């Protein structure tokens, strides 16, 4: 079976895993110049995609409906449920930066633009992903900050940020079309989640198919047999690659979460980059329960970053342990 662009699904996933390894290699020495370039480039890409989404949603130019999918912003992506999560990495980056470096008007302006784009995706999965990643990121920053005054400042700025976000939501919700869509999408259960052909019904069928096929069904076979995807990346691993492949994918996610958790508390020059990547990866791992994330390029970016920066942190610890004075820890910085 062939995916978009003429590649087989296996070829696409191999390419993505190779990309993850390349990202890990790029950042395994904690090079701050590379990290700063990545940060700026990603934020710029997110701004371009968000601008396209605004143009399409508010019909600012003719023919820009191509940036919409059923009145939801998909921007330069094929699906709002991919566009929304794509924005979360730069949003969390900016939030962590504002909490640790203080308020910068440019960062605030960019953050508000991206937050608006995330809202207009009307993706429940992306909204949940954002909440999980934000709570994890801010929680880790608070936990690793030794200065009580710094922690107090982070709490105050966090509360201020929540107020600003609430005001942004109120402003956007005052637009009739946005208000109606928010009310509809805010429902915990949608009609396509339940009943025959619904998400949960398909997941029950998928569980049975997994138990009956230890070697898996192969790419797109569940969709061909039952008419729709089951929308769970972990089930997807077992359905496509069999029990061994599904277990390997779950092990990769679990080990990445454990590795990041063991290294995020170490003060390094790249600590906040690692915290951001880890928080976003954790949120995306949770979102995988309701959507297939195994073909998202930004998923493999944060996966590679966690492994690369964790390796850099482990090597940093070793160098510090063998330092002549037995100390010399660096305070974390952001770029």
Q: Are residues 117 and 216 in the same domain?
A: no
Contacts of 191 (CB under 8 A, 6+ apart): 198
Q: Are residues 112 and 9 in the same domain?
A: no
Q: Are residues 72 and 104 in the same domain?
A: yes
The CB-based long-range contact list for 67-74 (8 Å cut-off, 24+ gap) reads: 71/177, 71/181, 72/120, 72/121, 72/122, 72/123, 72/181, 73/117, 73/120, 73/121, 73/122, 74/121
Q: Are residues 231 and 165 in the same domain?
A: no
Q: Are residues 197 and 180 in the same domain?
A: no
* pLDDT tens profile 20-48: 999 999 999 999 999 999 999 999 999 99
Q: Are residues 229 and 103 in the same domain?
A: no
Domain assignment of residue 152, yes or no = yes
Q: Which segments of the chain have a pLDDT < 70?
A: 1-10, 176-177, 179, 184-198, 323-335
Domain assignment of residue 101, yes or no = yes
Q: Are residues 251 and 225 in the same domain?
A: yes
Q: Which of 185, 207, 232 is the last residue of a domain?
A: 185
Res 206: pLDDT: 87
Q: Are residues 26 and 51 in the same domain?
A: no
Res 329: pLDDT: 47
Q: Are residues 181 and 198 in the same domain?
A: no
Q: Which of 155, 185, 215 is the last residue of a domain?
A: 185
Q: Count of domains in the chain?
A: 2
The CB-based long-range contact list for 249-253 (8 Å cut-off, 24+ gap) reads: 249/294, 252/303, 253/285, 253/288
Res 224: pLDDT: 82
Res 152: pLDDT: 83
Domain assignment of residue 35, yes or no = no
**Domain assignment of residue 85, given as a range:** 41-185
Res 278: pLDDT: 97
Q: Does the global pTM surpass 0.85?
A: yes
Alpha helices (runs of H) in the chain, residue ranges in sequence order: 9-27, 32-57, 80-101, 105-120, 124-144, 148-173, 176-185, 199-212, 221-226, 233-263, 271-287, 297-321
Q: Are residues 88 and 26 in the same domain?
A: no
């Amino acid at each position: 079976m062939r995916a978009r662009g003429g590649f087989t699904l296996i070829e696409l996933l191999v390419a993505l895993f190779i990309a993850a390894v390349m990202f890990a290699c790029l950042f395994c020495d904690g090079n701050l110049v590379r990290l700063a370039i990545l940060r700026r480039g990603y934020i710029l890409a997110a701004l371009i995609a968000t601008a396209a989404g605004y143009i399409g949603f508010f019909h600012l130019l003719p023919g820009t409906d191509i940036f919409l999918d059923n009145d939801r912003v998909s921007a330069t992506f094929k699906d709002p449920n991919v566009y929304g999560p794509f924005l979360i990495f730069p949003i969390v980056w900016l939030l962590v930066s504002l909490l640790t470096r203080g308020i910068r008007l440019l960062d605030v302006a960019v953050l508000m633009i991206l937050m608006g784009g995330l809202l207009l995706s009307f993706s429940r999965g992306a909204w949940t992903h954002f909440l999980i990643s934000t709570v994890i990121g801010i929680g880790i920053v608070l936990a690793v900050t030794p200065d009580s005054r710094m922690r107090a400042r982070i709490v105050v700025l966090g509360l201020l940020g929540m107020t600003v976000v609430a005001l942004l939501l109120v402003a956007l919700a005052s637009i009739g079309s946005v208000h109606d869509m928010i009310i509809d999408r805010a429902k915990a259960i949608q009609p396509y989640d339940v009943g025959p052909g619904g998400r949960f019904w398909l997941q029950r069928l998928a569980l049975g198919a997994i138990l009956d096929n230890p070697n898996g069904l192969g790419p797109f076979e569940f969709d061909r047999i039952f008419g729709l995807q089951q929308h769970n990346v972990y089930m997807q691993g077992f359905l496509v690659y069999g029990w061994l492949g599904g277990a390997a994918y779950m092990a990769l996610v679990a080990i990445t979460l454990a590795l990041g958790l063991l290294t995020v508390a170490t003060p390094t020059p790249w600590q906040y980059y690692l915290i951001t990547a880890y928080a976003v990866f954790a949120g995306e791992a949770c979102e995988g329960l309701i959507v297939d994330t195994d073909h998202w390029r930004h998923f493999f970016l944060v996966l590679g970053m966690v492994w690369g920066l964790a390796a850099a942190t482990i090597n940093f610890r070793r160098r510090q342990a063998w330092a002549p004075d037995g100390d010399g820890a660096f305070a974390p910085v952001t770029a």
